[in-house]
């Protein structure tokens, strides 16, 4: 018989982070056991850094048994790329970089009128998955990020065009994941689906995980656009009517410089950030991503076409 409520020995309770960590490690191990050639999408952003950390724990004392893949828009923050390469070297894993620039150079992709390259990542991603013959692709997406992602499965089947069919998803039962797929299909696996932004930061604090410096408050030349602080850079110049100023900001998400905004922040340490995220009244994507503001279904539309 199950114990009645409220007579529980608290000493035998796992904390929220412990439960989420064990769940993620279970998912990572299942995918490695059931698939031939998994790969982890790794941008150097905090979510993919956490997934890499979990993978290292899942296979300790062995090495991480899969390689990493990054789709570089050509608009990434240089300090994030530097961090990415340093982290990859520290873990002794192999990184493949697919470059949007190469596709624009030879005409397979055309620059968008608005200059954002986020939607352009899908084709190089699908090509890299095919070239690497990857049957499982780990990502750091979380369900609390977006309403479309709230309906995403932990293991999500994609057809050979990388398409997500949200109306025809496999039911996910108990912790029994079904990774069966046929030729040409692959599976996207999201080990930290159930983590919130605050969980991620608390885990980074607890595990002492290093992140690119721009996640912490720093001074930067910025201008105001779409209610966000945008960094002044070669691919994100201010327009004539926009005023450049130096402000103390940090990034809550790290993506393409042309569409990622910074927030005013004095959080210089991880514990400062945990406090700040805990009292924030705006979601991280709402605060920092211009591309998700295109429409209410912006993320869903990108995901259906194979975006991560």
* Residue 283 touching other proteins (CB under 8 A): yes
Contact assessment for residue 157 and residue 137, using Cβ atoms and an 8 Å cutoff: no
Q: Which is nearer to other proteins, 98 or 274 (CB)?
A: 274
Query: Taking contact as CB under 8 A, which single stretch among the options 1-9, 80-88, 104-112, 235-243 is the one that binds other proteins?
Result: 1-9
**Among 42-50, 98-106, 139-147, 232-240, the segment contacting other proteins (CB under 8 A):** 139-147
In the region spanning residues 197 to 256, those forming contacts with other proteins, defined by CB under 8 A, are: 198-199, 202
109, 148, 200, 262: which one contacts other proteins (CB under 8 A)? 148
H or E element at residue 220: strand 218-225
Region from 73-81, 166-174, 208-216, 229-237 binding other proteins, contact rule CB under 8 A? 166-174
Q: Which pair of tokens denotes residue 51?
A: 């997934």
How far, in Å, are 46, 152, 237, 254 from residue 75 at the CA level? Answer: 18, 28, 12, 11
Q: Determine the interface stretch with other proteins among 24-32, 68-76, 95-103, 111-119 (rule: CB under 8 A).
A: 24-32
Report in angstroms how near the CB of residue 99 gets to other proteins at its nearest. Answer: 30
Task: Using the minimum distance from each CB to other proteins, give the nearer residue, 14 or 131.
Answer: 14
As beta bridge partners, residue 234 has: none
Within 74-133, which residues bind other proteins (CB under 8 A)? 92
Burial class (CB in 10 A: 0-12, 13-18, 19+), 67: middle
- How far is residue 29's CA from residue 155's CA, in Å, rounded to a whole number? 13
Smaller CB distance to other proteins: residue 182 or 243?
182
Cβ of residue 233: shortest distance to other proteins, in angstroms?
Answer: 25
How many Å apart are CA 198 and CA 291, to the nearest integer?
A: 23
Within 36-65, the residues that bind other proteins by CB under 8 A are 56-63
* 3 state DSSP class of 281: coil
C-beta neighbour count of 194 within 10 angstroms: 17
Q: How far is the CB of 174 from other proteins (least distance, A)?
A: 5
Q: How far is the CB of 307 from other proteins (least distance, A)?
A: 15
Give the contacts of 49 (CB within 8 A, at least 6 positions apart): 42, 87, 204, 209, 210, 211
């Amino acid at each position: 018989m199950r114990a009645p409520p409220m007579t529980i020995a608290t000493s035998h309770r796992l904390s929220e982070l412990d439960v989420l960590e064990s769940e993620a490690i279970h998912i990572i191990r299942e995918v490695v056991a059931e698939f031939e050639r998994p790969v982890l999408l790794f941008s150097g952003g905090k979510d993919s850094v956490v997934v890499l950390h979990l993978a290292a724990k899942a296979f300790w004392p062995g090495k991480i048994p899969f390689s990493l893949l990054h789709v570089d828009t050509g608009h990434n923050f240089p300090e994030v790329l530097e961090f990415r390469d340093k982290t990859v070297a520290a873990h002794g894993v192999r990184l493949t970089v697919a470059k949007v620039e190469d596709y624009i150079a030879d005409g397979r992709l055309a620059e968008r009128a608005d200059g954002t390259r986020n939607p352009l990542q899908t084709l190089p991603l699908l090509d890299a998955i095919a070239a690497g013959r990857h049957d499982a692709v780990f990502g750091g997406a979380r369900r609390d990020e977006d309403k479309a992602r709230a309906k995403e499965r932990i293991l999500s089947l994609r057809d050979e065009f990388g398409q997500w069919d949200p109306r025809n998803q496999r039911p996910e039962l108990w912790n029994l994941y079904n990774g069966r797929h046929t030729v040409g299909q692959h599976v996207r696996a999201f080990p930290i689906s159930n983590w919130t932004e605050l969980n991620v930061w608390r885990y980074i604090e607890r595990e002492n995980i290093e992140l690119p410096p721009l996640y912490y408050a720093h001074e930067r030349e910025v201008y105001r656009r779409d209610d966000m602080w945008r960094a002044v850079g070669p691919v994100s110049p201010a327009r004539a009517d926009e005023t450049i100023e130096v402000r103390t900001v940090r990034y809550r998400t790290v993506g393409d410089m042309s569409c990622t905004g910074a927030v005013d922040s004095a959080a210089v340490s991880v514990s400062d950030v945990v406090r700040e995220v805990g009292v924030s009244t705006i979601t991280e994507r709402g605060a920092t991503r211009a591309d998700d503001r295109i429409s209410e279904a912006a993320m869903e539309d990108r995901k259906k076409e194979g975006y991560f």
